[in-house]
Amino acid sequence: MHVNINKTRAICVLEDRLNSDYKIILFNLKDAGIFHELCRAVSNKKENIEIWTCGDYANENSLYTFVHMISQAEADEIMDIYRLYEFTDNLIVLSDDLAYPGLVNYIRQGVLDRQSMIAAITYNMC
């Protein structure tokens, strides 16, 4: 039986970027402070890195060409696919979703501070 899957624009672009050795950070947090710190850290890297976000504060960072706006629905779809397969190390998901804790949970619990989290995210990025 053939199942027809309609891919959104974001999923198609994501597949293309990941096949081209890009690193994508899906930023789905409501914390502008972390977003700004992450942008500063990524701006010092030479690798193909993009930050995808649906946060309003992204418009304030138009000077960063690596920041791309997506809809909340697209972010949710990417997170669902990522959680289902965890298919690559080239996609990093930062989310407030308590059902799927990650690095953000370590900040909430006091195990990590913001700078340590950003250093962990950008560690292997040239």
Indicate whether 13 pLDDT > 60. yes
Indicate whether 4 pLDDT > 50. no
Q: What is the mean pLDDT of residues 7-26?
A: 84
Indicate whether 3 pLDDT > 80. no
Provide the pLDDT for residue 7: 67
Residue 13 or residue 5, greater confidence: 13
Q: What is the mean pLDDT of residues 21-48?
A: 87
pTM assigned to the model: 0.81
* Long-range contacts formed by 114-122: CB under 8 A, 24+ apart: 114/33, 114/34, 114/37, 115/37, 117/34, 118/34, 118/37, 118/38, 118/41, 119/41, 121/25, 121/38, 121/41, 121/92, 121/94, 122/38, 122/41, 122/42, 122/45
Provide the pLDDT for residue 2: 38
- Report residue 60's pLDDT band, with 50, 70 and 90 as the boundaries: low
Indicate whether 34 pLDDT > 70. yes
Residue 100 or residue 72, greater confidence: 72
Task: Tell me the percentage of the chain whose pLDDT exceeds 70.
Answer: 83
CATH of domain 9-122: 3.40.50
Domain ranges of the chain: 9-122
Provide the pLDDT for residue 88: 76
The chain-wide mean pLDDT, for the chain, equals 80
